[in-house]
């Protein structure tokens, strides 16, 4: 039994949509991980090991207990510079 071309078109559309969604999820997670690793490496080079980072989409959340305001500002500045280089 032959299926009408409308069914083939709908099936191709659905398969394409699923593949696009999976690719978007995979690329977003990869970008988040690369950003976090770059920032962690740069913090380690600058002796800012107290800082931790969490990525959620395009937002990066920095948390931890800095010894003083200078270290806190330094961690934020380094993270901003590294994340701007990825754009």
**What are the structure tokens assigned to 15, written together?**
């398969």
The answer to whether 35 and 83 have CB atoms below 8 angstroms apart is yes
* Distance separating alpha carbons of residues 27 and 38, to the nearest angstrom: 16
For position 85, what pLDDT does the model report? Answer: 65
Q: How many domains does the chain have?
A: 1
Whether this prediction's pTM lies above 0.85 is answered by: no
**Domain ranges, residue 53:** 5-85
The answer to whether 50 and 76 have CB atoms below 8 angstroms apart is no
Residue 14 has pLDDT above 90, yes or no: yes
Reported as a pLDDT band with limits 50, 70 and 90, residue 21 is very high
* Least confident residue range of 14-18, 27-31, 43-47, 80-84: 80-84
């Amino acid at each position: 039994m032959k299926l009408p071309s409308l069914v083939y078109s709908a099936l191709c559309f659905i398969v394409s949509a699923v593949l696009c969604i999976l690719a978007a999820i995979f690329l977003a997670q990869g970008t988040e991980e690369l950003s976090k690793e770059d920032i962690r490496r740069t913090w380690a080079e600058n002796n800012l090991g107290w800082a931790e980072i969490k990525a959620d989409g395009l937002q990066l959340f920095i948390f931890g207990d800095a010894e003083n305001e200078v270290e806190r500002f330094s961690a934020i500045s380094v993270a901003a510079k590294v994340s701007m280089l990825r754009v």
